[in-house]
Structure 1
């Protein structure tokens, strides 16, 4: 029986978003909730308390096989060999042969023959093609199993992803779903699999891109609605992707396709810390990465007064009018109450200096700062 594909695609929580009058928009190939009411209120709720997000458009891929660890050590710029305890997670870039960023991923170590990788939604199909090509190239004994609803095959069960983020997120999850209290001692960038009588297996990873504490919960898609209802019934507010965008920008977190792409290296975008160039391991793009120079530096821009929000690709110039870079993403910061942006500038520009950004045919002054803008709900330094 053929599978009916909806365009745009819908997550398992789509009907709940519509029932709760969420404002929906097409995000990539997906119909996603961008706000349930006030984006600003949703943003502040995450900074001050906790809220839940539907991230089921992200793609979970399980990598099985006796060569799984060895294969991932060759595939990723960070060294998966560092993961020795089940549940440990690793952030890494996946590079092309020229050392450019194909995607940034989080990988969880489940056991010696199974690792779980979370791919960005818009890049998932391209990523999987690339990974499969590397399986063939390296003649590795591994199998990729995509777990997103539009990709599952055979008797594989689809997974959904729900994030609960905010300073009170973990305690609120424990109250909403008592079986999750087993995750009480999980440290940041670690995960645990728990079993709940009502909804079966759940993986809770203490990860996220809002700059706040919390969990990213990977659950069976068929039970995602029930998990969502349990969290909502416990009084946890829902938030849309517009709030997530302002949160991640305040936290200085990257989005693939905006802040980095196959033309930029991890060093260009401030992710050198996620690259392991140790001599005992080779990986895709390593030689090119070692040979290329750093063309850019990844910085934040803080705008004064009531400046308009800069758009992606807005030109950045020195105060003398020389072109020195571009904005990669920008927003209004609800926490700081100013416009902010992430940008790629030439390496000689100093943090603390001022630059000029072209916004709607006007040049607006901005201060070069070091991301993040906000940490643990509070401004970082003087912006």
Structure 2
């Protein structure tokens, strides 16, 4: 049986024309780099870079029961969102407390919301959302929006570059605080969010307008960047990747995501709550900095005084010049401890630290 053809974003032809190296990313034909991945990484840390993230799926959740439905569906509490355009990050859990996906939810009105889900989990996410809506008899309509594209513009100069090419967006989007968005028109959303640890925007717009915006930003000096730089940037910034750092067998607490779970309202019976409350996380989620040469990678064994653990994500940090990683280790391992990582049969020392290594272009002191 032949493999299914890869899905493409509205910018796929442009990526190829620009000489991008393309890879299969969860069934999508995506650029991993346009040349030097390291240069792309540094462009985001020092200036401005842009990413095609149109493989991610925007999902509109509308109807009189939308708020109640989302309070049941996800672990964070959307009732926190009162101002139009405000957003929050959360996990969507199964009844066992495992992470089905991590996502961002935007509030517009009590009967109109938007959820942005990961590309590789989009189909199962939609199926799960519809199943929950049916089981709870929620009065909601769930609408996947594959007619939309999404471009992330990130870096200390990102917002200025966006305003330079779309000055008419500035009035609505310049005052935005982090984790908030401005609706420019019916299908254009400018959100002050990102996956790099830098300032910037994630812009949702009609698919047929994506190429023009990309070209305009490139002409303004914004550097096209691929998935390779996005991965090193997000890891430096302490941001998890679904499928590596968490999945349906991992509780939020085992992935450093306890802060995305809201237990404040005792009457809110969200899916997975009972499992989380009855079975506290047996493992800790920590950062590691390698103390010698080598590069930590996912699935490498970590030896600690409390027992073995495992690297979930690892890379060479372009900003710090050392290898960094996330690891799931036994409870009791704490910042400042020295552990060893098995790198091709050699036990290499690493120091335990916080999972955020770089923020706004600067190294975060280990803690």
TM-score of the two chains, using structure 2 as the length reference: 0.96
Q: Does the CA-based 8 Å contact 2:60-2:114 persist in structure 1?
A: yes
Which shows bigger deviation, 9-18 or 355-364? 355-364
- Distance in 2 (alpha carbons) for counterparts of 1:332 and 1:326: 17
Which position in structure 1 is the counterpart of 2:290? 303
Which position in structure 1 is the counterpart of 2:309? 325
Equivalent runs, 1:19-38 vs 2, <5 Å: 19-38=17-36
Equivalent runs, 1:191-230 vs 2, <5 Å: 191-195=181-185, 201-230=187-216
Which position in structure 2 is the counterpart of 1:152? none
Q: Does the CA-based 8 Å contact 1:177-1:231 persist in structure 2?
A: no
- DSSP 3-state at the match of 1:10: coil
Which position in structure 1 is the counterpart of 2:118? 120
- Distance in 1 (alpha carbons) for counterparts of 2:275 and 2:6: 38
- Distance in 2 (alpha carbons) for counterparts of 1:324 and 1:378: 31
- DSSP 3-state at the match of 1:109: strand
Please list the CA deviations of residues 37-62 of structure 1 after superposition, one character each: whole Å capped at 9, or x if unmatched.
Answer: 11111000000011000000001110
Which position in structure 2 is the counterpart of 1:361? 345
Q: Does the CA-based 8 Å contact 2:357-2:366 persist in structure 1?
A: no
Which position in structure 1 is the counterpart of 2:8? 10
CA drift of 1:201 comes to 4.0
- Distance in 2 (alpha carbons) for counterparts of 1:117 and 1:274: 15
2:69 is the counterpart of 1:79: no
- Distance in 1 (alpha carbons) for counterparts of 2:174 and 2:320: 32
Task: Kindly report the root-mean-square deviation, in angstroms, between the aligned alpha carbons of the 2 structures.
Answer: 1.4
- Distance in 1 (alpha carbons) for counterparts of 2:77 and 2:307: 37
Which position in structure 2 is the counterpart of 1:173? 162
Q: Does the CA-based 8 Å contact 1:64-1:113 persist in structure 2?
A: yes
Which position in structure 2 is the counterpart of 1:247? 233
Which position in structure 2 is the counterpart of 1:189? 179
- Distance in 2 (alpha carbons) for counterparts of 1:6 and 1:60: 23
Q: Does the CA-based 8 Å contact 2:307-2:330 persist in structure 1?
A: no
CA drift of 1:295 comes to 1.2
CA drift of 1:265 comes to 1.0
- Aligned counterpart in structure 2 of residue 344 of structure 1, from 318, 328, 337: 328
Please list the CA deviations of residues 256-281 of structure 1 after superposition, one character each: whole Å capped at 9, or x if unmatched.
Answer: 11001111111111111111112131
Which position in structure 2 is the counterpart of 1:48? 46
- Distance in 1 (alpha carbons) for counterparts of 2:104 and 2:363: 27
- DSSP 3-state at the match of 1:232: helix
- DSSP 3-state at the match of 1:9: coil
- Aligned counterpart in structure 1 of residue 278 of structure 2, from 264, 281, 291: 291
2:37 is the counterpart of 1:39: yes
Which position in structure 1 is the counterpart of 2:58? 60
- Distance in 2 (alpha carbons) for counterparts of 1:129 and 1:209: 26
Give unpaired runs (5+ residues) of structure 1. 149-157
Q: How many residues align?
A: 363
Please list the CA deviations of residues 87-128 of structure 1 after superposition, one character each: whole Å capped at 9, or x if unmatched.
Answer: 000111100001111111100012221110000110111111
User: Residues 212 and 74 of structure 1: is their aligned pair in 2 closer, same or farther, counting only changes over 3 Å?
Assistant: same
Which position in structure 1 is the counterpart of 2:319? 335
- Distance in 2 (alpha carbons) for counterparts of 1:159 and 1:360: 44
